[in-house]
Amino acid sequence: MSLRIVVTVKYVPDATGDRHFADDLTVDRDDVDGLLSELDEYAVEQALQIAENADDAEVTVLTVGPEDAKDALRKALSMGADKAIHVEDDDLHGTDAIGTSLVLAKAIEKAGYDLVVSGMASTDGTAGVVPALLAERLGVPQVTLLSEVSVEDGVVTGRRDGDTASEQLQAQLPAVVSVTDQSGEARYPSFKGIMAAKKKPVESWDLSDLEIDADEVGLEGAWTKVETATERPARTAGTIVKDEGEGGKQLAEFLAGQKFI
């Protein structure tokens, strides 16, 4: 029986661009180029490695996002994923993490899965809670923040490096896994991969396909409300000195003046 792997990915504004909020205080997606969230590349990579080590496996990439989010799916397909699912619906605009996890969980169930692989966080929202939310909603084990992961005989094992300890984890499939940027460099799509990706199937689903009411998601249905977003004032220019042999002492003088010494 084939191992069905679903990788959740997010299309995010480029972190090196001038990111800001739109008038409705959602993330502005028009003025900054979007791309597959860098941290999700690690998830795609680990999913592909797990699939390569299995007798028979299929990797599906799943995203929830606007039309342009297809770019993120295309990138994952060009890395080697087999097929893609794009959940797109105008009513999804402004959905928060709780709502997103609802949509993803319904889509994962509809797609069918043995293993869900996610990145550790998105590079725009950065909360890092979606994998735990998916495990809760799907009612399956959560094996998260792994810097090493493997799957054998229906069991997932991995290493979670925490602040106070490094833990070895183990759970039966089906399960939700998330991997960190320490899990291994993500592969670059080859030319062949890029060409092949153009022919791979991308399914589009909307909220009615997932039997989700519009009022459960979107900005109006969100469980949290952003009331204000203010640009942080630029830091006032500080003193910059050139070291001419006394740089360390000058710095110490500054720190003493600020009562740090």
Partner 1 sequence: MAEVLVYVDHVDGAVRKPTLELLTLARRLGEPVAVALGAGAENTASALAEHGAAKVLTHDAPEYADYLVVPKVDALQAAYEQVSPAAVLVPSSAEGKEIAARLAVRIGSGIITDAVDLEAGDEGPVATQSAFAASFTTKSRVSKGTPVITVKPNSAAVEAAPAAGAVEALNVSFSDKATGTKVTGRTPRESTGRPELTEAAIVVSGGRGVNGAENFAIIEALADSLGAAVGASRAAVDAGWYPHTNQVGQTGKSVSPQLYIASGISGAIQHRAGMQTSKTIVAINKDSEAPIFDLVDYGVVGDLFDVVPQLTEEVKARKG
Closest CB to partner 1 among residues 199, 248: 248
> Which of the residues 174 through 203 are near partner 1 (CB under 8 A)?
175, 180-182
Q: Which stretch binds partner 1 (CB under 8 A): 54-62, 63-71, 81-89, 233-241?
A: 233-241
Q: Of these, 120, 151, 212, 217, which contacts partner 1 (CB under 8 A)?
A: 120
Give the number of other CB atoms < 10 A from CB of residue 80.
21
Cβ 177 to partner 1, closest distance in Å? Answer: 10
Residue 198: both structure tokens together: 């153009």
Mutual orientation of helices 38-52 and 70-79 as an angle, nearest 10°? Answer: 40
Q: Is 219 in the site for partner 1 (CB under 8 A)?
A: no
Distance of CA 252 to CAs 182, 255, 258, Å?
36, 5, 10
> Which of the residues 35 through 94 are near partner 1 (CB under 8 A)?
39
- Count of residues of this chain found to bind partner 1 when the rule CB under 8 A is applied: 83
Q: Of these, 83, 93, 110, 137, which contacts partner 1 (CB under 8 A)?
A: 137
> Which of the residues 11 through 30 are near partner 1 (CB under 8 A)?
15-16, 19-21, 25
Cβ 31 to partner 1, closest distance in Å? Answer: 13
Q: Of these, 30, 56, 199, 248, which contacts partner 1 (CB under 8 A)?
A: 248
Q: Which stretch binds partner 1 (CB under 8 A): 44-52, 57-65, 118-126, 190-198?
A: 118-126
Closest CB to partner 1 among residues 86, 183: 183
Residue 11 neighbours by CB under 8 Å, 6+ apart: 34, 35, 36, 37, 63, 65, 66, 68, 69, 71, 72
Q: Is 95 in the site for partner 1 (CB under 8 A)?
A: no
Buried (b) or exposed (e) across 168-196, using 16+ Cβ within 10 A? ebebebbbbbbbbeebeebeebeeebeee
Residue 241 neighbours by CB under 8 Å, 6+ apart: 247, 250
